[in-house]
Structure 1
Amino acid sequence: MNEKGIYCLVFRNPGTTLGIGSLGDVEFSPGWHIYVGSALGQAGFSRVRRHVSLSVEKNKKPRWHVDYLLTSAYFELESVFCGKTAERLECILAGLLGGENVPGFGCSDCRCGSHFFHRDDNPEDEVRSAFEALNLPVHMKKIK
Structure 2
Amino acid sequence: MNPGTYTLLLSLPTAATITFGAAGERCLDPGWCVYTGSAFGPGGLSRVERHRRVAAGEHDVRHWHIDYLTSHPETRLDTVYVTEHADRECEVARTLNDAGEQIPGLGASDCDCETHIAYAAERETLAAVAGEEHEAVW
- Scaled by the length of structure 2, the TM-score of the pair is 0.89
Q: Is residue 140 of structure 1 aligned with residue 113 of structure 2?
A: no
Unaligned runs of 5+ in 1: 132-137
Equivalent residue, structure 2, for 1:12: 11
Question: What CA distance in whole angstroms lies between the structure 2 residues aligned with 1:21 and 1:107?
Answer: 14
In 2: Cα distance, 1:35 partner to 1:61 partner: 18
Q: 1:54 Cα shift?
A: 1.4
User: Which position in structure 1 is the counterpart of 2:33?
Assistant: 33
Q: CA deviation at 1:59?
A: 4.6
Specify the SS of the correspondent of 2:130.
helix
Partner letter of residue 140 of structure 1? V
Contact kept, 8 Å, 2:11 with 2:75, in 1: the verdict is yes
Task: Indicate if the aligned counterparts of 1:58 and 1:70 stay in contact, CA closer than 8 A.
Answer: no
Change (3 A) 1:59 1:46: closer
Q: CA RMSD, aligned part only?
A: 1.4
Amino acid at match of 2:71: T
One-letter code aligned to 2:62: P
Counterpart position of 2:95: 96
List gaps (5 residues or longer) in structure 2: none
Structure 1 distance, partners of 2:130, 2:74, is 22
How many percent of aligned residue pairs carry the same amino acid?
30
Give the superposition deviation at 1:42.
1.6
Which structure has the highest helix share of the two?
Answer: 2
Report the TM-score, using the length of structure 1 for normalisation: 0.86
Amino acid at match of 1:93: V
Q: CA deviation at 1:58?
A: 4.8
Q: 1:10-58, CA deviations, whole angstroms, 9 ceiling, x for partnerless residues?
A: 0111221011101111111210111001111122111101111111125
Q: Flag as ranges the 4+ runs of structure 1 deviating above 4 A.
A: none
What is the match of residue 79 of structure 2? 79
CA shift, 1:74, in A, is 2.4
> Which residue in the other structure is 2:115 paired with?
114
